[in-house]
């Protein structure tokens, strides 16, 4: 199902969807693009670069209450489940790299054993993607990891900017539903429109991106160099801030803690929060032993998880080439450069 939406009708489409739930879109706030809630009547311009934070927070929030507890002497402990009913949400402007990240996060949270908290949000959110007519960042490398500036993976709708109008392609039942909610705003796409989309996609692929010279050899290179001193050299400048993982659309490690609000009776909440493999205490044992005691070991874990372990387990890289970890690393650690170094075995 595809159609054409004039750009001046975007606000009316959003208004229709706001009657059904919350709508989010990229907004330039304090020198950065972020997904923010669209207030009624607010203008939305989908001319953003990539957002600093990815869209994964809509399905895997940074902090989440799993249940609440109350323990009183002489009484049976009370556990109260968190209400899993999540408000319907529509997110505009999701870049294809973040869409492909959703496919990978689905593998983690819904294959085998389904995480009910993740699944509830996944069922309630509609991701409306925007194809990249040009790379939104100089550090984009989606093509190197099997993606595309116009990938449809993980999205419910893909929009393509055709200069003054959007080609809107519904990809899932949820996508068709949000398009049909404002069907009077759309015109049928013609063969000429589809040809224009095809040309835009070809042009997008011709834009230069960062490249990994021999991606098919990286798995073997990482195995070969597991004990290499290169890791310590590559991580020498790392300050362990964790920005690379917090901003990654596919990083999904979490910790679970009890937040106590009263000691008598004992009350509080069991809370899940994002964790970070670049922090020294991430793998710290209660004995004091830490199997990843230095920055080199922790960097190796992050890179191998992305480009080796996930490939072996799921037959796909756990990296979608958004480039956020490169752009926002304060000391210039670069996953593309590391992949190339590992394959070549030389760091200069």
Q: Where are the beta strands (DSSP E) in 7-156?
A: 22-29, 32-37, 63-71, 78-81, 89-94, 125-130
Task: Say yes or no: 17 and 107 in one domain.
Answer: yes
The mean pLDDT of 29-41, rounded to a whole number, is 94
Tell me whether residue 266 is in a domain. Answer: no
Same-domain pairing of 298 and 184: no
Q: What is the CA radius of gyration of the chain?
A: 22
Asked if 239 and 146 sit in the same domain, the reply is no
- Give the containing element (helix H, strand E) for 116: helix 116-124
**Domain ranges, residue 100:** 2-60+85-206
Domain identity same for 187 and 314 = no
In the predicted model, what is the mean pLDDT of residues 194-218?
91
Shared domain check, 246 and 166: no
Q: Where are the beta strands (DSSP E) in 40-148?
A: 63-71, 78-81, 89-94, 125-130
Give residue-wise pLDDT tens across range 131-162.
999 888 899 999 999 999 999 999 999 999 99
pLDDT score of 112 = 85
The answer to whether residue 269 sits within a structural domain is no
pLDDT of residue 345: 65
Q: Are residues 122 and 192 in the same domain?
A: yes
Residues 337 and 234 in one domain: yes
Average pLDDT over every residue of 303-325: 96
Query: Are 54 and 138 in the same domain?
Result: yes
Q: Are residues 176 and 240 in the same domain?
A: no
Does 323 fall in a domain?
A: yes
Are residues 283 and 191 both part of a single domain? no
> What is the pTM (predicted TM-score) of this model?
0.93
Residue of 343, 260, 257 whose CA lies nearest to 66: 257
222 and 173 assigned to the same domain: no
Residue 197 lies in a domain: yes
Query: What confidence tens digit (pLDDT) does each residue in 209-260 have?
Result: 999 888 888 999 999 999 999 999 999 999 999 999 999 999 999 999 999 9
Look at the chain and report how many structural domains it folds into. 2
List 27's β-bridge partners, or say none.
34
Is 128 found in the same domain as 225? Answer: no
Instruction: Please report whether residue 15 resides in a domain.
Output: yes
Structure confidence by residue, pLDDT tens digits, 315-342: 999 999 999 999 999 999 999 999 998 8
Quote the mean pLDDT of the chain.
Answer: 94
48 lies in some domain: yes
Count of positions (residues) in the chain: 348
Where b means 16+ CB within 10 Å and e means fewer, 271-289 reads bbebbbbbbeebeeeeeee
- Whether 236 maps to a domain, the answer reads yes
Query: Does residue 258 sit within a domain?
Result: no
pLDDT given at position 346: 59
């Amino acid at each position: 199902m595809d159609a054409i939406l004039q750009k001046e009708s975007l606000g009316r489409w959003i208004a229709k969807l706001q009657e059904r739930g919350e709508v989010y879109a990229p907004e330039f706030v304090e020198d950065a693009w972020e997904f923010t809630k669209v207030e009624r009547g607010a203008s939305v311009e989908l001319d953003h670069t990539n957002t600093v934070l990815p869209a994964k927070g809509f399905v895997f929030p940074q902090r989440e209450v799993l249940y609440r507890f109350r323990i009183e002497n002489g009484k049976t402990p009370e556990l109260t489940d968190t209400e899993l009913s999540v408000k319907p949400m529509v997110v505009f402007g999701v870049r294809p790299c973040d869409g492909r990240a959703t496919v990978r996060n689905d593998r983690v949270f819904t294959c085998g054993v389904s995480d009910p908290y993740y699944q509830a949000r996944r069922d309630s959110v509609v991701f409306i993607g925007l194809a990249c007519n040009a790379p939104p960042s100089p550090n984009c490398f989606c093509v190197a990891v099997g993606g595309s500036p116009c990938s449809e993976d993980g999205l419910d709708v893909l929009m393509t900017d055709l200069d003054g109008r959007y080609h809107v392609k519904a990809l899932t039942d949820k996508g068709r539903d949000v398009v049909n909610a404002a069907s009077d705003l759309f015109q049928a796409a013609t063969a000429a429109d589809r040809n224009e989309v095809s040309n835009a996609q070809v042009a997008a692929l011709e834009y230069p991106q960062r490249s990994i010279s021999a991606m098919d050899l990286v798995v073997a290179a990482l195995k070969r160099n597991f004990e290499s001193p290169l890791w310590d050299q590559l991580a020498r400048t790392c300050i362990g801030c964790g920005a690379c993982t917090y901003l990654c659309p596919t990083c999904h490690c979490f910790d679970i803690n009890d937040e106590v609000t009263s000691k008598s009776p004992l009350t509080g909440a069991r809370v899940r929060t994002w964790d970070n493999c670049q922090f020294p205490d991430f793998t710290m044992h209660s004995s004091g032993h830490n199997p990843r005691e230095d920055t080199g070991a922790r960097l190796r874990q992050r890179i191998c998880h992305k480009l080796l372990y996930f490939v072996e387990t799921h037959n796909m890289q756990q990296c979608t080439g958004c480039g956020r970890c490169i752009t926002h690393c304060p000391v210039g650690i670069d996953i593309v450069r590391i992949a190339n170094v590992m394959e070549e075995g030389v760091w200069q």
